[in-house]
């Protein structure tokens, strides 16, 4: 069974020869520092590139992906040629056209990102959208889906990957809730959900319109090659929801439905929701919105017991992730890692519907032995 067959069976709730393995996405990646440790441990000598600067993620070399039997490969929507990512200080920054040196920059959504000298990550420190009244929303410079560069060479790149390999091709992008509060600021956003509900809804409609344009342009070309498209929209903290499930149900869900319908109309993909944290209370509405896959299954968060999730929602959702990156991977022993791998596969992999991956990105302080053991142990499980 090849990788594409394995992933497609899993996405359709059927059990393949082994669980598919994922690594290399923007929510299943590896920090630059941890990745250098892995390559040194494996004796791989190559330049280490940045795939995503905000989280400090490394671009995973094909040699490493092959050693870890990874079944997925990624193609992401591109930034336009004319996007002004002007840097203000020194540091690094990466876009689809190469690495630039910087320390702070504005993204296409008007959010200013800054990486302190003692940090692994960029933080949101400012934003160009200062209000969400009608005038501000109309005057804001929304990303142009037709800007030159967005789909240049996309057909050639993704068709080559599809035809020359048997890997399953994934992609991803922003979701409505997470992008909306990032553009406006968390405190102002939360206050406005109570005091300016109509303005929040108009704001979400503008974002929905923009995302449909951007993703539609991308999917017109890439859609027929993809197996899964992930939407980022964190709804949970470690101990509970970020927003009330009722807010999602009343305000976000129908707009999610519209975005998901557009994605599925233009492709054959399953749509995944990436949401960290304690999101048990959202799951029925997530399913109703049209999501097929849930990531990253943070089982250390309140109410996110793997057995309970599989029993209650395993017929409706494919689970993706679940390997603990908070305690087991960075601080556990090799034996702890092996036990964690076997436990997650035995619970979530039973009957199909489970993509094996770290529960979010592998952090900088993770020992290379544990990372390598995690992926190698999957193979050991299926030898027995």
The sign of the CA dihedral 214, 220, 226, 228 is positive
Q: What pLDDT shows up at residue 216?
A: 98
Residues 220-251: pLDDT tens digits?
999 999 999 999 999 999 999 999 999 999 99
Question: What is the rounded average pLDDT of the residues 94-104?
Answer: 55
Q: What pLDDT shows up at residue 384?
A: 81
Of the candidates 275, 262, 182, which has an alpha carbon nearest to the alpha carbon of residue 223?
A: 262
Residues 154-206: pLDDT tens digits?
999 999 999 999 999 999 999 999 999 999 999 999 999 999 999 999 999 99
Confidence of residue 86 (pLDDT cuts 50, 70, 90): low
Residue 219 is inside which H or E element, if any?
helix 197-222
Tell whether the model's pLDDT for residue 268 goes beyond 80. Answer: yes
Q: What pLDDT shows up at residue 167?
A: 98
Residue carrying the six token digits 């057995």: 307
Q: What pLDDT shows up at residue 97?
A: 46
Q: How far, in Å, CA of 278 to CA of 238, rounded?
A: 6
β-partners of residue 319 are: 294, 354
Question: What is the rounded average pLDDT of the residues 349-365?
Answer: 96
Q: What pLDDT shows up at residue 99?
A: 47
Question: What is the rounded average pLDDT of the residues 253-259?
Answer: 98
Q: Are 263 and 269 in contact (CB under 8 A)?
A: yes
CATH (one of 3.40.50.300, 3.40.50.11540, 3.90.76.10, 3.20.20.210) for 3-83+130-383: 3.20.20.210
What HEC string does 299-366 produce?
CCCCCCCHHHHHHHHCCCCEEEEEECCCCHHHHCCHHHHHHHHHHHHHHHCCCCCEEEEECCCECCCC
* Residue positions counted in the chain: 384
Confidence of residue 89 (pLDDT cuts 50, 70, 90): low
- Contacts of residue 237, defined as CB under 8 A and 6 or more positions apart, other chains included, come to 277, 278, 301
Question: What is the rounded average pLDDT of the residues 354-383?
Answer: 97
Residues 121-138: pLDDT tens digits?
988 989 999 999 999 999
Residues 12-53: pLDDT tens digits?
999 999 999 999 999 999 999 999 999 999 999 999 999 998
Of the candidates 10, 32, 5, which has an alpha carbon nearest to the alpha carbon of residue 356?
A: 10
Q: How far, in Å, CA of 215 to CA of 296, rounded?
A: 22
Confidence of residue 81 (pLDDT cuts 50, 70, 90): confident
Please, is 207 exposed, middle or buried when counting C-beta atoms within 10 Å of its C-beta (0-12, 13-18, 19+)? buried
Q: How far, in Å, CA of 213 to CA of 184, rounded?
A: 21
Please provide the average confidence, as pLDDT, over all residues in the chain.
94
Q: How far, in Å, CA of 167 to CA of 3, rounded?
A: 5
Q: How far, in Å, CA of 371 to CA of 383, rounded?
A: 20
Of the candidates 290, 341, 337, 287, which has an alpha carbon nearest to the alpha carbon of residue 309?
A: 287
Q: How far, in Å, CA of 132 to CA of 140, rounded?
A: 10
Confidence of residue 85 (pLDDT cuts 50, 70, 90): low
Tell whether the model's pLDDT for residue 112 goes beyond 50. Answer: yes
92, two tokens: 């690094």
Tell whether the model's pLDDT for residue 90 goes beyond 70. Answer: no
Q: What pLDDT shows up at residue 304?
A: 98
Tell whether the model's pLDDT for residue 285 goes beyond 70. Answer: yes
Residue 38 is inside which H or E element, if any?
helix 32-42
């Amino acid at each position: 069974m090849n990788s594409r067959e394995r992933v497609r069976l899993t996405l359709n709730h059927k059990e393949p020869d082994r669980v598919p393995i994922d690594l290399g996405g923007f929510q299943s990646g590896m920090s630059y520092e941890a990745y250098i440790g892995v390559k040194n441990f494996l004796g791989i000598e190559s330049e280490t590139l940045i795939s995503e600067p905000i989280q400090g993620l490394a671009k995973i070399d094909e040699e490493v992906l092959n050693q870890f039997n990874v079944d997925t490969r990624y193609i992401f929507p591109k930034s336009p040629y004319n996007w002004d990512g002007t840097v203000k200080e020194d540091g690094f920054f990466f876009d689809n056209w190469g690495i630039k040196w910087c320390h702070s920059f504005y993204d296409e959504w008007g959010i200013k990102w800054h990486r302190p000298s003692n940090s692994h990550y960029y933080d949101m420190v400012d934003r160009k959208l200062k209000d969400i009244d009608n005038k501000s929303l109309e005057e804001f410079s929304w990303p142009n889906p037709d800007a030159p560069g967005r789909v240049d060479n996309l057909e050639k790149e993704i068709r080559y990957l599809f035809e020359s390999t048997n890997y399953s091709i994934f992609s991803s992008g922003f979701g409505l809730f997470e992008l909306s509060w990032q553009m406006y600021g968390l405190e102002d956003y939360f206050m406005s959900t109570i005091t300016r509900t109509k303005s929040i809804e108009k704001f979400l409609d503008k974002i929905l319109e923009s995302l449909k344009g951007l993703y539609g342009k991308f999917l017109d070309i890439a859609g027929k090659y993809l197996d899964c498209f992930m939407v980022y929209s964190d709804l949970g903290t470690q101990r509970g929801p970020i927003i009330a499930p009722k807010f999602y149900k009343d305000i976000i869900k129908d707009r999610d439905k519209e975005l998901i319908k557009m994605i599925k109309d233009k492709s054959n993909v399953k749509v995944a929701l990436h949401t960290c944290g304690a999101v048990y209370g959202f799951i029925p509405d997530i399913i109703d919105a049209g999501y097929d896959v849930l990531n990253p299954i943070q089982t250390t968060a309140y109410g996110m017991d793997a057995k309970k999730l599989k029993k209650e929602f395993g017929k409706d959702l494919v689970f993706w992730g679940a390997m603990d990156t908070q305690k087991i991977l960075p601080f556990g022993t090799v034996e702890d890692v092996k036990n964690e791998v076997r436990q997650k596969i035995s619970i979530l992999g039973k009957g199909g519907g489970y993509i094996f991956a770290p529960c979010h990105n592998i952090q900088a302080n993770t020992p290379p032995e544990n990372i390598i053991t995690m992926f190698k142990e999957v193979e050991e499980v299926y030898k027995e």
